[in-house]
Amino acid sequence: MKMLLPWELLILLSLTDCLAERSARHGPVFTQEPSDSVFPLRSEDNKVFINCKAKGNPVPHYKWKVDGGYIDMDLNYNLVEGNLLINHPHATHHGGVYQCIATNVFGTIVSREAKVHFATLADFVMSLAQVSLPLLMPTILCGRCLCSSPAEIKYSWVFNGRPSFLLQDTRRFVSQRTGNLYIAKVEASDVGNYTCVVRNMMTNATAYSSPTPVVLRRDAVMGEYEPKIEVQFPESLHVTKGSSVKLECFALGNPVPSITWRRTDGNPLPGKIKINHSNGVLEIPYFRPEDAGVYECVAENSRGKNVAKGQLSLEKNTNDVHMAIEANLQWECKASGKPKPVYRWLKNGEPLVLEDRILVEGGRLAVPRINLLDSGMYQCLAENEHGAIYASAELKVVASSPDFSSSPVKKSMLIQRGGEVIMECRPHASPRASISWRRGGEFLKDSTRRTIMGDGTLRISNISESDGGRYTCVARNPFGTSSSTGTLVVKEPTKITVPPLSVDATVGESIVLPCEVSGDSSLDPTFKWFFNGKLIDFNRQDHFEMIGGSAGDLMVRNIQLKHSGKYVCMVHTVVDSVSAAAHLIVRGPPGAPEGLIVGEITDSTAQLSWESGPDHHSPVTTYSIQARTPFSIGWQAVRTVPDSVPGQMFHATVIDLNPWVDYEFRVVASNNVGVGEPSMQSKQIRTKANCYNLCSQILQSGEEFGYVVAFRPLGTSTWKQTVLASPDASRYTFRNDSVPPLSQFEVKVGVYNNKGEGPSSHVVVVYSAEEEPSEPPSRVWTRTLSASEIEVYWEPITQTASSWKIIGYEVLCWEEGMQESDAEMVRVTDTAALLSGLKGSTVYLISVRAQNSAGAGPSSPAVNVTTKKPPPSQPPGNIEWNLTNSKIFLSWEHVKAMGNESEVTGYKVLYRQNWLGKTSVVETNRTSMALQVPSGEDYLIEIKALSDGGDGSSSGPIRIPKMSSKRELFLSFTIHRMNFCVLCLDFMPKG
């Protein structure tokens, strides 16, 4: 290897620095290369182009070779950009192997070799003798098929001299690779003369063959047979990135085969593909790496199918590289083919000169310790007996002094005392620079707290105030020295001085979680709160508020069970982050009991058992049992044994039930906070029954219990009877289509057991069924009363819409987005209904239908109605009261509604004597009032906010003690939201 003199090295170094500044500059890359071609010639054709184009910066210049020798540009040869123009081509003189060479300042590349032939258009077609074919037999009509043709040649066929070309369909196909016309199955309409047409798309020259007659043999008919693929694409095809590839596939057969395309790897065909000529041609434009793979053409008819496949692979180029001087170059070139290809390497268009330090093994090139003279364009040539392919790459060897312009040391670094700092030093240098650090004028060495790592990074741990100052990174390589300086500023660490503490709270209360910090006065701390791992968004969560000015205290208002969990206060500054956590435990009414089971059942008792639900951090004190029947209005409390079920007991016996009645049960838990949600209702059960008088329901004993049902048309004397042997029977249906609607019958029901028949009920008169109403109620309208109540009105149904008296209406109500089948139903006898228990700020759909004894009619069209915003959830607070001269003076704090709540319009004061007294109500739009009450009794007072959405949360009962009869009692008392505080308690003698 020749050693460079210092002046030569400096010139090359300045050149590489210039190249680095203009990084967009690069060596030539072919975008279009010449290909094997046969050019048709006619006497008027006097020019032929052989294409070649390359991109590069600077723009490449071109040379051409033919049969291994450079072409001198003369009257016959000219360059048009990179393309070679042949003037007045001659088949003998200008045929041969052509190769394009592209060069710029970075090097030279050579194109693939292209074999070029010249022929007259007449050579492409020839006359054929008459073709005589059996009916249904396939055929191939051929133009003269040369080995290859330029893309500018297009083949067509004319039938019976018509001015238009023969249309291609599933039965007929013209190959643009061979020029042949394929007919999958000959039919009688195919008899006639066929002419092959060859057109040069560049010169628009056209040649015609002489007509070829096709006649039909009448002595034979071809039978059905499976597809035979006659036109198929190569088994292996290398495609240049960005180019377009067309695959042809056509099959002969009877019936005419269908053609489909697919990929063998199961991936869908690219969305950009084009399939035309009745699926016979698949085109993939702008070929990309993801398009590579094995493609299959499937030809199929009722007799079978056939498959042709081929692999499309992307011609891969070795990647361009920019490498530092004295680095090691490793390039590998791979190609597939049969027979196995051999490899050659070119540099700047010439065979690579092998030196002692250059290693070539097949497609692998290794150059250790590269120098500036190794820069240039490299090509790997893989070839076998079928041809050759090229892969090109550019090598730029970079040599430069250290440069911090794009990656300087950080100008200012803030770090907390006791922390760790990492100062990076990453200059651009080729070869790699050696790194040292200095502080002021003193170079630094490794110590217990200070380390210079292998990549030049300086790390200092356990920072103290004395570590502050200016630090300079110095970088050196054979081409120069450079430095970059930054300043380290040491700050006091941030500390949380008042952290949040874990706390218990009751539903409805409000608490404050403190978070106060101390630290460097020049740093501005930022507070963030996280709840159960998620950042609290104070703009979207009404229950949370940041208070405390410069501190980061968190207030949680109107606490709910969902607010239980972990709260983290995180404080950020530009130098550090600290955090502290606390847990909030929310006590609330117990959750619903679970697993309710009904055990042994008698005629008047039922044994229940259940499992406890969540106690919400306040132990269950008692359980109560509720029941409902088809005859009760809602759920009713029932008597149990024991009378009061303690919270540690999970079973009880319900007593005083009625015999032979269907019951459902549920359990409700209570604790010191309040009454919880009820359990899921039990399965419906029926209490036991004895033989009894149906009218008086007097119970009798006996086995084999059953019923005797007797009935007769009103005014007749003969009873019809039927026996119901099941003791569980509760109804009997008699069907007779001849009975008119609303016919009157006398009915009585008796009972029996194995001892005989019991007494029968009184005779009652019933009517046979009528038809349901045929029309819905009209003009349904609504009025929103509050967040939970809606009034519904409608016009009564006309008598003509029902064959009998309307006995009531059913009002259906369901939330928007739900199905009508999920609707709640209210039955009324009037033409208005009050719907309650609804959700606030919710859209409901309302529908009404009439009902008579036959059932319900059709529903009216649903109307939309939106409930008002919920009432304020915050109760009146800071309640103060004074008692004097039989008057109670009250004052309280104004309640402010949240954004999703109805505005406060006034207040409601409820007062009563003791717990069982009658409640009186007074309303006011002020936050104070006086009540005139008689002396001698305790009073309980509650205050609620009023709003369009209804009554707000209650302050809870406030007990005011009775006044002495002998002396006047003067009391003053303040009730806060979270605690009670006695302000004044004085006894004053009367007079």
- Model confidence over 709-718: pLDDT tens digits? 998 998 888 8
Element of type H or E holding 923:
strand 920-924
Please, what is the average pLDDT of the chain?
A: 83
CA distance 82 to 68: 18
pLDDT recorded at residue 220: 67
Overall average pLDDT of the 509-527 stretch: 90
Nearby residues of 461 by Cβ (< 8 Å), 6 or more positions away: 420, 449, 450
Per mean pLDDT, which of 10-14, 545-549, 684-688, 756-760 is the most reliable?
A: 684-688
Across 200-214, 403-417, 429-443, least confident range: 200-214
The region that residue 471 occupies, defined by phi over 0 for left and psi between -120 and 50 for alpha, beta otherwise, is beta
Nearby residues of 863 by Cβ (< 8 Å), 6 or more positions away: 780, 781, 782, 845, 846, 847
Element of type H or E holding 208:
strand 206-208
DSSP assignment of 320-382 equals PEEEETT--EEEE-----SSPPEEEEEETTEEPPP-TT-EEETTEEEESS--GGG-EEEEEEE
Is 433 in contact with 476 (CB distance < 8 Å)?
yes
Residue 313: both structure tokens together: 């692979």
CA distance 27 to 108: 8
Is the pLDDT score of 143 beyond 70?
no
Is the pLDDT score of 986 beyond 90?
no
Q: pLDDT digits over 252-261, tens only?
A: 999 999 999 9
Overall average pLDDT of the 794-808 stretch: 73
Nearest CA to 200 among 83, 35, 36, 38?
Answer: 38
Is 471 in contact with 409 (CB distance < 8 Å)?
yes
Residue 131: both structure tokens together: 């073709």
Is the pLDDT score of 230 beyond 50?
yes
pLDDT recorded at residue 551: 77
Over pLDDT 90: what percentage of the chain? 38
Nearby residues of 436 by Cβ (< 8 Å), 6 or more positions away: 443, 444, 452, 473, 474, 476
Overall average pLDDT of the 979-991 stretch: 32
pLDDT recorded at residue 703: 62
Q: Is 82 exposed, middle or buried (0-12, 13-18, 19+ CB in 10 A)?
A: buried
Indicate the DSSP class of residue 914: T
Residue 143 phi/psi, 5-degree rounding, is: -80, 175
Is the pLDDT score of 9 beyond 50?
no
Residue 141: both structure tokens together: 């009509």
Q: Would you tell me how many other CB atoms lie within 10 Å of the CB of residue 981? A: 8
Across 18-27, 462-471, 610-619, least confident range: 18-27
pLDDT recorded at residue 14: 45
Is the pLDDT score of 699 beyond 50?
no
CA distance 557 to 574: 32
Longest dimension (CA), the chain: 147
Across 7-21, 91-105, 537-551, 779-793, least confident range: 7-21
- How far, CA to CA in Å, does 146 sit from each of 118, 121, 153, 774? 11, 11, 12, 85
Element of type H or E holding 251:
strand 250-254
DSSP assignment of 491-552 equals EPPPEEEE----EEEETT--EEE--EEE--TTS--EEEEEETTEE--TTT-TTEEEESTTS-
Across 157-171, 385-399, 695-709, 960-974, least confident range: 960-974
Is the pLDDT score of 1 beyond 70?
no
Is the pLDDT score of 23 beyond 60?
no
